[in-house]
Chain A
Amino acid sequence: MTRQEFIKACSLLGLGTAILPSSLTSCETGDDGPIDVQFKGKVLVIGAGSAGLMAAYTLQRYGIDFEVLEASAVYGGRVKKTVDFADFPIDLGAEWVHETPSVFSRLIDDETVDGNIDLIPYSPETFYSWTNGRLDRRNWQGPFYGEHKFTNSTWHDFFETYILPSIENKIRYNEPVVEIDYSGDQVVARIEGGGSYTADKLLVTVPTTILKSGSITFTPALPTEKQDALENMYVPEGIKIFLEFSEKFYPDIVTVSDGTGAPSDEKIFYDAAFKKESEKNVFALFNVGPSAALYTNESDDEILKIVLGELDAMFDGKATKYYQKHIIQNWSAEPYIRGSYTYFHDTETTSVEAMTKPLDDKVYFAGEALHEYAGATVHGAGLSGKTTIETLLQSQ
């Protein structure tokens, strides 16, 4: 499994505790910030996922007027948690930290912010492989993992604790944008069912699936260069399923090879309580790619039946024997997500460059697909939102 595969295979997550929200707004104007702010108008941010939240946080930090338009009723995008399932918060979306711990300082980018984040070095001890109906021990692969997980929190907690407090009054929920009109001096975002927002510049952070589907139309239409870039991008199916068992009969991780051969196909079962402060036995399925279609088009009852059947085959019927409850997060069925994260048919760099070029210096793009080296990650999306806004602010 390559790093990129692993990153994409694991990409969902959680975090730490202590906080000092007051310091989040410590840099209220751009005058003393690390960049030379030229822009003075208003910015619209479309989407309140990792990229949109970090973009908003950066705008707030530099004292720029902005609003965030979120299509759904919640913030976070593919960062989502539940606290009701187990005795620790569970990441229903992005879960791993695919970077060194210092990535949090790069996201916050403000040393006056006080707080700590507790992380677990993710180095599985028991590592199995399930191929062609055979379960093989691969414990030697464990030390090659170089990721981290949150100790007893989530990525969602990170945003909730450190990012949201300074921007939450600027987020407009249930406002799905259907048209972006940048033909005039200002940019207009029209909302489904009527209504619109106007600003001097606009940042699009919606998932690749939404852009590719045409759910948002652009006036004038997107240039050919961007349309070609979108053609080069695709987002496979994605699902996470968490199961609680009365006994722990499973290893830290099982990689599953379904033999589809698709580069995007990634499927693992993993101990979701690995090194957590938990007394629960929670084994989870993470599946992205064509093989995830086995579940994503089925009812929840059928999904459970399929998963238990698979685990019973691996572990001699113990899954059904010890099963207690489950929770399913079908990302393909989320109306404003519609899949997992972005892959590229061909060269990634060209498409990223094409997509990140602003339209008439008014419409900008950011998101998990558009970070130059950390695509398909939460921190990559966040850094993409942050750096794109910094670029925007340095323009007139």
Chain B
Amino acid sequence: MRITITLVLFLVSAFHLSAQNTLSVGYLGHVFIRPGVTLGLEIPLKTLEREKMDGEVEAVKTRQFFVRPSVGTFTRSRFYTSTLLDVAGGWNWNKSTSKFGSSLSFGFGVLAQNEVIRIQTNFKGDITERDKELRGYFLPSIKYSLHKKLSENIGLYTQWSYGMKLSPTRVRSAIFFMELGFRYSLQSKAPAND
């Protein structure tokens, strides 16, 4: 939890450093029934724009390279609580005539999983003891995101990630994540990827 709070503070601080950044807050989990939350900060590195006709309308196609640090936590009651620190690099693409944009990125994360290895229950239905074991993994991943602009600064996004839990002491395992949430940009005009 301390790590999570530190990272959140770091991200919020970084958010104030640049008005180009996009903050995202969303649900994070393996599937819908594994509740979690993620906070990310997308920092643009380079933006490429190209004008092109989209039917009869002139559109600006944008490619924006970014780096996106994020912190997330998700839990599965009685099984584990996890914190995921991740830095992803990738690019957005969209065009000015569409409210939708996409991104593809590659992440490298550290997953700290506090795994419940034993529980004790009584006949009142209470969990009276819970033994946990902290397990750490490296988590490289590939992510695809789809976002939609709702206003100049606010958008919706969903992101799907496929990663591999790697540990020198444990077996490797594939892992899926889904995110669903909001993006908020400090830019005075719509963000390139929104």
Contact = CB atoms under 8 A, between A and B. Distances in A.
Contact of B118 (A115, A120, A125, A139): A120
Contact of B117 (A115, A120, A143): A120
B78 interface: yes
Interface string A87-125: 000000000000011101110101101111111110101
B52 interface: no
B176 A105 contact: no
Contacts, number: 77
Interface string B164-184: 000000111111100000000
B174 A116 contact: no
A217 interface: no
A266 to B, nearest CB: 23
Given A119-B118, A121-B78, A139 B123 contact: no
Contacts of A108: 123
Contacts of A290: none
Nearest to B33: A146
B188 interface: no
The main secondary structure of chain B at its interface with chain A is strand
A122 to B, nearest CB: 9
A115 B174 CA distance: 39
Given A101-B127, A275-B117, A116 B122 contact: yes
Nearest to A107: B123
B176 A101 contact: no
Contacts of B171: 125-126, 139
B122 A139 contact: no
Interface in A110-158: 110-111, 113-121, 123, 125-126, 139-140, 142-144, 146, 148, 151
A126 B170 CA distance: 10
Given A123-B79, A125-B171, A140 B176 contact: yes
Contacts of A105: 121-125
Given A121-B78, A140-B175, A142-B173, A115 B120 contact: no
B79 A146 contact: yes
Contacts of A101: 78, 119, 121, 125, 127
Kindly name the residue among B122, B125, B128 whose own CB sees the greatest number of chain A CB atoms within 10 A: B122
Contacts of A151: 118
Contact residues on B (Cβ < 8 Å of other chain), bracket: 20 to 34
Q: How large is the interface on A (under 10, 10 to 19, 20 to 34, 35 or more residues)?
A: 20 to 34
A116 B117 contact: no
Interface in A248-289: 275
Nearest to A127: B173
Interface string B89-131: 0000000000000000000000000011111111111011100
B76 A116 contact: no
B30 interface: yes
Interface in B23-48: 30-31
A105 to B, nearest CB: 4
Given A139-B174, A140-B176, A118 B118 contact: yes
Interface in A318-348: none
Nearest to B130: A121
A143 B123 CA distance: 27
A143 B121 contact: no
Interface in B123-147: 123-125, 127-129
Nearest to A126: B171
Contact of B120 (A113, A116, A139): A116
Nearest to A110: B123
A102 B173 contact: no
A102 B128 CA distance: 11
Contacts of B176: 140
Given A118-B118, A120-B117, A151-B118, A140 B174 contact: yes
Interface of B: 30-31, 76, 78-80, 115-125, 127-129, 170-176
19 contacts: A101-B78, A101-B125, A102-B121, A105-B121, A105-B123, A105-B124, A105-B125, A110-B123, A111-B124, A114-B122, A118-B118, A118-B120, A119-B118, A119-B120, A121-B117, A121-B119, A125-B170, A126-B171, A139-B172
Given A117-B121, A121-B119, 17 more contacts: A101-B127, A104-B121, A105-B125, A106-B125, A110-B123, A111-B123, A111-B124, A118-B118, A119-B120, A119-B121, A121-B78, A121-B117, A139-B172, A139-B174, A140-B173, A140-B174, A151-B118
Query: When A and B form their complex, which 3 residue pairs have the shortest distance between CB atoms, in order from nearest?
Result: A139-B173, A105-B125, A101-B121
